């Protein structure tokens, strides 16, 4: 979304930078997952520290033998934070569509994250199934943010079908390996007219900054925060990293040079 991003930029950081997905405007470019935390108190505190306005959630069976167990919604208010239901754990398009129809019934909203995985070991997306599921969901009125491979051709197909955000992986889910594919991510950003978010692979704050410096509209992460020794502090670090990377992208970096260039004037030397 390079063009729109630049035209919408505030030159001196005046006013609030924001991005739009499926007609909704968000000021935070960080989307966080709600999995892997030690309890719901920690989940809520990490979301707060991250400044995220959108959080991903999974759809699972209610524990019918103990329905009084605490529920996520008791800690994270869906009226204040946008829930983005995912299809994590789905390995077929059919499963994904079934899951998100249930999510829509439970939550009453259409904005969803589609992910159809193809392999347990790498959690790499199955793009054939993803395309099928995206088509079914779009026909059914969903706004689909889609987790995908970093293949620009696949990303283009998903955009042309009508997906509202393209979310390529930067490294395998939960690996924390950082941005392994800056060239592909850049190609996808350049060709896309819907938001592009790096989804999966971020391990620490500099990874999030790199994704944003490439021109991503946002970053989605879960494990990098939840599995940090101090998740709340890492959530805060990610908030600043995403903002810093975004500002650096908008500011436009200096050209790389082969040799040194002194910062102090050479004239007037004693």
Partner 1 sequence: MQIILNGEPRDLDSALSVEGLLSHLGLEGRKVAVERNLEIVPHSAYDEVLLEEGDRIEIVHFVGGG
- Burial of residue 183 (number of CB atoms within 10 Å: 0-12, 13-18, 19+): exposed
Catalytic annotation, pick one of 79, 80, 113, 156: 113
8 Å CB contact between 163 and 146: yes
Interacting stretch for partner 1, rule CB under 8 A, among 70-78, 202-210, 236-244, 249-257? 70-78
Restricting to residues 197-236, which ones interact with partner 1 according to CB under 8 A? 222-223
List, in order, residues 6 or more apart from 75 with CB less than 8 Å away: 40, 41, 43, 44
Give min distance, CB of 200 to partner 1, in A: 8
By CB under 8 A, tell whether 128 contacts partner 1: no
List, in order, residues 6 or more apart from 166 with CB less than 8 Å away: 146, 148, 155, 158, 159, 188, 192, 194, 195, 196, 197
Restricting to residues 75-104, which ones interact with partner 1 according to CB under 8 A? 78, 83, 85-86, 88, 98, 101-103
By CB under 8 A, tell whether 56 contacts partner 1: yes
3-state secondary structure of 198: strand
Closest CA to 44 of 17, 81, 8: 81
Based on the residue annotation, tell me whether 79 is a catalytic residue of this protein: no
Minimum CB distance to partner 1 smaller for 61 or for 257: 61
By CB under 8 A, tell whether 195 contacts partner 1: no
- Cα separation values, 219 from 13, 105, 178, 252, Å: 20, 27, 12, 19
Minimum CB distance to partner 1 smaller for 72 or for 161: 72
Residues classed as catalytic? 113
Binding positions for partner 1, rule: CB under 8 A:
33-37, 40, 43, 56-62, 64, 67-68, 71-73, 78, 83, 85-86, 88, 98, 101-103, 105-107, 173-174, 222-223
């Amino acid at each position: 979304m390079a063009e729109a991003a630049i035209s919408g930029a505030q030159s001196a950081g005046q006013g609030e930078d924001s991005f739009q997905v499926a007609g909704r405007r968000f000021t935070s470019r960080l989307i966080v997952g709600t999995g892997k935390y030690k309890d719901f108190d920690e989940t809520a505190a990490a979301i707060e520290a991250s400044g995220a306005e959108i959080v991903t959630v999974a759809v699972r069976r209610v524990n019918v033998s103990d329905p009084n167990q605490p529920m996520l919604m008791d800690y994270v208010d869906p009226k204040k934070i946008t829930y983005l239901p995912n299809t994590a754990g789905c390995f077929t398009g059919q499963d994904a569509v079934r899951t998100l129809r249930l999510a829509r019934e439970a939550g009453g909203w259409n904005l969803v994250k589609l992910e159809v995985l193809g392999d347990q070991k790498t959690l790499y997306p199955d793009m054939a199934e993803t395309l099928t599921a995206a088509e079914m969901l779009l026909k059914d009125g969903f706004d689909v943010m889609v987790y995908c491979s970093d293949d620009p051709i696949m990303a283009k197909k998903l955009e042309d079908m009508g997906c509202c955000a393209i979310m390529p992986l930067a490294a395998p889910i939960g690996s924390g390996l950082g941005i392994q594919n800056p060239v592909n991510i850049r190609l996808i950003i350049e060709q896309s007219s819907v938001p592009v978010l790096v989804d999966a692979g971020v391990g620490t704050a500099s990874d999030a900054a790199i994704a944003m410096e490439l021109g991503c509209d946002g970053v989605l992460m879960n494990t990098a925060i939840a599995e940090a020794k101090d998740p709340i502090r890492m959530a805060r670090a990610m908030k600043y990293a995403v903002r810093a990377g975004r500002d650096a992208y908008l500011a436009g970096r200096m050209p790389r040079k082969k040799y040194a260039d002194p910062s102090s004037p050479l004239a007037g030397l004693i």
